[in-house]
Amino acid sequence: MRRPDQLPDEVQRDLAAIDAALAGEPADGELAELALLVRDQRPRLDPGARARLDERADARFAARRVRAPRRRALLPALGAAATILVVSVGVYGGLGARDAGEPVAPGGEAATRTAPSAERARESADEAASAPSSATAAPVAPSAGLPSRSVQRAAELLLATTPGRLDEVAGAVMRTTEALGGYVAGSAVHSRGGRGGSASFQLRVPSARLETALARLSRLARVRSRNTSSLDVTGAVVSARDRVSALEAERRGVLRQLAAAGTPEETEAARARLRAVDVRLARAKAHREELRRRVAYSTIDVELVTERRAGAGSGTNDHWTPGDGLRVAVRVLEIAAGAMLVALALLLPAALLAALGFGAWRVVRSRRREAALDGAA
């Protein structure tokens, strides 16, 4: 950069003379004299214009004076913070939805994904569970004026445990079922001697104790998913019952015909008819009993898998420990860090683009302003 003392001597001399003349000091030179003339030519504010300006200044400045001058500087920071917060919540929410099957705490209740209809049925089932249990059926407590409902209920449970505890948990599943008055309808255990494996069980437990059974089974290992469903079979039960009653009435009629038979042909015909009715009656009763069993006993399909991750298979002896708290805290920090990273990945390019755009806009604006000077007459 050229300094003032690097100006040509003539220019320096003229500028010094101008400065001296403006300062009221004696100065020689045509430019100094011209400078004084130019200064005297300056447009001046007349009193009216000055008063108008003062008035406008008072009116326009008054409102702005009360504002904090730094407030605008905080806006970008507040905007960035709000954006990060929104992105964090969104990302955390997304991860939370993906991990819906994760336990809130080791051994605790897992988030349950239940279809709306199944959820409604589960509420009905809860009401049924509070009613006195029946050995043969588990009808929902009847409402006034309505017949009692027969509901067939089922559940699916996916449990995860460590490879070394597969056999232990499998045994506990069966013991728990029997302790609740249920039975194991089917099972398959594939164990690789402490190196993993899997097991599956088809359990039948009294419907009145379904919730208890699910709670106890859930404590045996880490719950990865739990689904419940229900089906109202009241119509089928009533229909089966009515059919049995009708067939019994028909059988009584046939017996009366048999008693009244006077000839061997009539007797044989009545007996043949009685056999046919007995067959149909036996089928109807079997169907009715099958329905009663379905209602009285709920099905639980248990899938048991092994995994090596922390928290799996903690089982019945699990308690909320400082280690668990630490793991949850680390997980939360991981999610928060991930959210911040995503937010940065989104914001950084946007901020760069905005900065580039702002810079370009300022350059263009500055050039246009300068061009206004060139274009002015």
Partner 1 sequence: MTTSLTVPLAARTAPAQLDFDALYRSACEDVFSYVATMLRDRGAAEDVTALAFERALRRRGSYRADRGSERAWLFGIARNAALDELRRRKRTTALAGEPRDERPAPDDEAELALRRADLRTALASLAPRDRELIALRFHAGLSARELAAVLGVSESHAGTQLHRAMQRLRKACDATP
* 7 lies in the binding site for partner 1 (CB under 8 A): yes
d(CA 282, CA 105): 52
Residue 164 · residue 194 · CB < 8 Å:
yes
Q: Which of 41, 143, 263, 317 binds partner 1 (CB under 8 A)?
A: 41
Tell the smallest beta-carbon distance from residue 40 to partner 1 (Å): 7
* 38 is an interface residue for partner 1 by CB under 8 A: yes
Cβ within 8 Å of residue 184, ≥6 positions away: 174, 177, 178, 201, 202, 203, 204
Count of positions on this chain that bind partner 1 (CB under 8 A): 50
Q: Which two tokens stand for residue 19?
A: 């400065």
| 42 lies in the site for partner 1, by CB under 8 A | yes
Positions in 227-266 near partner 1 (CB under 8 A): none
- Residue with token string 């009539």: 266
> What's the distance, CA 366 to chain centroid?
51
- The tally of CA atoms less than 13 A away on the side-chain side of residue 290 is 9
Query: Residue 107: which residues within 8 A CB-CB, separation 6 or more?
Result: 219, 222, 314, 315, 316, 318, 319
Six-digit token pair at 148? Answer: 């009692």
Q: What's the CA gap between 314 and 221, in Å, rounded? A: 6
For residue 250, what are its two tokens? 């028909």
d(CA 357, CA 374): 26
Q: Residue 6 — φ and ψ, nearest 5°?
A: -95, 0
Contact map string, positions 44 to 73, toward partner 1, x by CB under 8 A: xxx--xx-xx--xx--xx--xx---xx-xx
The answer to whether 9 contacts partner 1 (rule: CB under 8 A) is no
Of the two residues 6 and 143, which places its CB atom closer to partner 1 in the complex? 6
Interaxial angle between packed helices 264-296 and 234-260, expressed in degrees from 0 to 180 and rounded to the nearest 10: 160
Q: Which of 24, 26, 43, 116 binds partner 1 (CB under 8 A)?
A: 43
Instruction: For residue 35, state whether it binds partner 1 (rule: CB under 8 A).
Output: yes
Cβ distance to partner 1 smaller for residue 14 or 318: 14
Provide, rounded to whole angstroms, the least separation between the CB of residue 57 and partner 1.
Answer: 6
CB of 82 to partner 1, least distance (A): 22
* Nearest residue (CB) to partner 1, 33 versus 301: 33
Which tokens belong to 364? Answer: 């263009």
As given in the structure block, the two tokens for residue 265 are 């042909």
Tell me if 3 contacts partner 1 by CB under 8 A: yes
Which of 259, 373 has the CB closer to partner 1? Answer: 373
Q: For the purposes of burial, counting CB atoms within 10 Å of the CB of 328, is it exposed (0-12), middle (13-18) or buried (19 or more)?
A: middle
Least Å distance, CB 22 to partner 1, is 8
Query: Is there a contact between 233 and 149 (Cβ–Cβ < 8 Å)?
Result: no
138 CB neighbour count, 10 Å cutoff: 27
Query: Is residue 1 a contact point for partner 1 (CB under 8 A)?
Result: yes
Contact between 18 and partner 1 per CB under 8 A: yes
CA distance from start to end of the chain: 31
Q: Binding of partner 1 at residue 2 (CB under 8 A)?
A: yes
86 is a site residue for partner 1 (CB under 8 A):
no
Window of 88-96, 311-319, 332-340, 364-372 that interacts with partner 1 by CB under 8 A? 364-372
Our finding on whether 375 is near partner 1 (CB under 8 A) is yes
Q: How far is the CB of 77 from partner 1 (least distance, A)?
A: 14
Name the amino acid, one letter, at 184: V
Judged by CB under 8 A, the residue of 97, 135, 146, 376 near partner 1 is: 376
Question: What's the Cα-to-Cα distance from 237 to each of 148, 278, 287, 372, rounded to whole Å?
Answer: 11, 20, 9, 93
289: exposed, middle or buried (C-beta count within 10 Å: 0-12, 13-18, 19+)?
A: middle
The single residue among 34, 80, 100, 279 that binds partner 1, judged by CB under 8 A, is 34
Pick 14 or 324: Cβ nearer partner 1 = 14
Selected range binding partner 1 among 14-22, 221-229, 243-251, 302-310, rule: CB under 8 A: 14-22
Q: Which of 9, 26, 37, 144 binds partner 1 (CB under 8 A)?
A: 37
Q: Per rule CB under 8 A, is residue 40 in the interface with partner 1?
A: yes
Which residues sit at the interface with partner 1, rule CB under 8 A?
A: 1-4, 6-7, 11, 14-15, 18-19, 22, 30-31, 34-35, 37-46, 49-50, 52-53, 56-57, 60-61, 64-65, 69-70, 72-73, 368-377
